[in-house]
Structures are given as C-alpha cells and as structure tokens.
Amino acid sequence: MKIEDQINRYREYNQETLLPRESKIQETINASMERFLQEEANKTLSYKSFLYIQFKLIQKRWWLLQFLLLVLLWVILPYSDDIIYSYRSMGVAGALFIILIIPELWKNRMNNCMEIESATYYSLRQIYSARILLFGIVDMILVTIFCIVTTFSLEFSLTELLIQFLFPMLITACICFGILCNKYAVNETIAISLCIFWSVIWWAILANDELYSAIVIPMWIVLFVLATILLCFFVYRTIHQCNKIWEVNFDENRNN
C-alpha cells in the first residue's frame, strides 16, 4: 500500500473516532471568554496609546484654524502701511490663536465629565495633562514654523515677534488656564470675552505712544518671562487641582 493511502486511511479513521463533544466546545467557549474578559480588565494603556487616543479625540479643525490664522497673518503683514498695524494684527492674532483652543479645553467641563469619571480608566487630571501636552506640542510646532518663516521672509526681528506676537499670546493663555480651573464655574463665553478684552487693552497699549515707548526692550523681556512663569503656574494648577476644585463645586462629592 502506498504511504499516502495509509495516511489517508489513518486520517479518515481518526476523524470518524474523534468527534468533538459539544460539552467540551461549550467549556472551551466559556473558558476563552472568561480569559479574554479577565485580560481586558487587567489591561492598562501605555502612555503612548493613551496620548494617541486623546489625539484622536481632539477635533482637528481647531488646529487647522490655528494654522490658517498664522498663514493669514503671514499674508497680510506685508500689506500693512504702518508698522503699528502690523503689530496690532500680530497682537490680535496671538490672542485669537489661543482663543481657538478654548472650546477643546472646555469640552470636558461643558460635558460634565466629572459625572462619568469614576467609570473611566483615567482621571480628569491625566486627560487634561495629555490634552495640554498635545496642544503644547502642536502649537509649539506651528508657532516655531511661523516665527522662522516670518523672520526670514518678512524680516521681522525675533524681539519684535516676542513682544508683538508671543507676549499677547502668553497673556491670553494665562487668562484661559487661570479661568479654566478657578473656583467659580466660569463658562467658555466669559473666557473668550476676557481674552477679547485683553486684546483691546493690548491695542490701547500699542496706540498709546507714551506708554509703549516707556517700556524698553529689557522690560518687555522681563514681562515675557513673568508671563511664562505665570502660565506654567496656571497649567500646573489646572492639572493638579482640577479634580479637587471641580468635584467640590459641581458634584459636592469629594473622592477619598
């Protein structure tokens, strides 16, 4: 007999005698499901995956609008007759650049995320940290590109960009983060209004020659550094105290 025939006979015989038992199949299904659910329950996301999920959740249109805003600013800057208009445009754009991320920063707060937080893997603090980090990375890239392009193509000095664009932007960011996590439930409309109000103040400073010329370059740098420190403090407070402040004020239910 050929070897293939012998093997075929063996295979057929084995299949006849070894029939799967339904009880064993059910046992396998139950054990498999149990194991799968157990593994899922023990599974924690890596930081990279968590950041990626948060990245997917953030609406990309705000980043697109920020990008378009910078492009628009870069396009209109050469057409300004007077340097003061260029500065004003930069100031407004700086404030607007931050205003555009307000809806995303307020999203958790507006959707009452504290109510469902206990059912999620990550705390609000971790979610905010991830979001701020992502906004920080993307905005940093956008602003760096804008500054490099503007410096080389429009011949603006770095000091001018620092004072006229980055400084109002920093102050706007301070206002946003300061309001986001304060004790009172301030909504995003008030935050936007305050940012616009700051923009008007900035216009007034620019329009007032006496005041503007009184502030010398080293003073601007000091103000810029102070604003940076203030922003770091507000961001720190937002991350570390958001649970405490929000829970007490919104849910009156403190976690132990």
Partner 1 sequence: MEADYLLIKRMKQGDEGAFDQFIHKYYQDILNYCSYHCGNNEDAEDLTQETFVNFFSRLSDYQFRGKSKNYLYTISSNLCKNYYKKKKDIPIESFQLENIKSDKDENLKIDNKMFIEWALRKLSEEYKEVIILYYFEELKLKDIAKILNIGLPLVKYRLRQAKMQLKELLEKEDRNENRRSN
Residues that bind partner 1 (CB under 8 A): 3-4, 6-11, 13-15, 17-18, 20-21, 24-25, 27-29, 31-33, 35-37, 39-40, 43
Q: Which is nearer to partner 1, 18 or 75 (CB)?
A: 18
Q: How far is the CB of 161 from partner 1 (least distance, A)?
A: 46
CA-to-CA distance for 152 and 25, rounded, in angstroms?
71
Q: What is the dihedral of CA 176, 182, 131, 167, to 10 degrees?
A: 30
Task: Tell me if residue 6 falls in helix, strand or coil.
Answer: helix
CA-to-CA distance for 237 and 178, rounded, in angstroms?
8
Q: Which residue has the tokens 């968590």?
A: 50
Q: Which is nearer to partner 1, 7 or 64 (CB)?
A: 7
Q: Which is nearer to partner 1, 18 or 116 (CB)?
A: 18
Q: Which is nearer to partner 1, 4 or 82 (CB)?
A: 4
Q: How far is the CB of 49 from partner 1 (least distance, A)?
A: 11
Q: Apex CA 45: angle with CA 42 and CA 46, to 5°?
A: 125
Q: How far is the CB of 58 from partner 1 (least distance, A)?
A: 24
CA-to-CA distance for 33 and 40, rounded, in angstroms?
10
Cα 89 to Cα 74, 99, 161: the distances in Å are: 10, 15, 12
Q: Which is nearer to partner 1, 32 or 59 (CB)?
A: 32
DSSP label at 21?
P
Q: How far is the CB of 122 from partner 1 (least distance, A)?
A: 17
Q: How far is the CB of 32 from partner 1 (least distance, A)?
A: 4
The answer to whether 94 touches 206, Cβ cutoff 8 Å, is: no
Q: How far is the CB of 44 from partner 1 (least distance, A)?
A: 12
Q: Which is nearer to partner 1, 52 or 67 (CB)?
A: 52
As given in the structure block, the two tokens for residue 103 are 């809806």
CA-to-CA distance for 61 and 55, rounded, in angstroms?
12
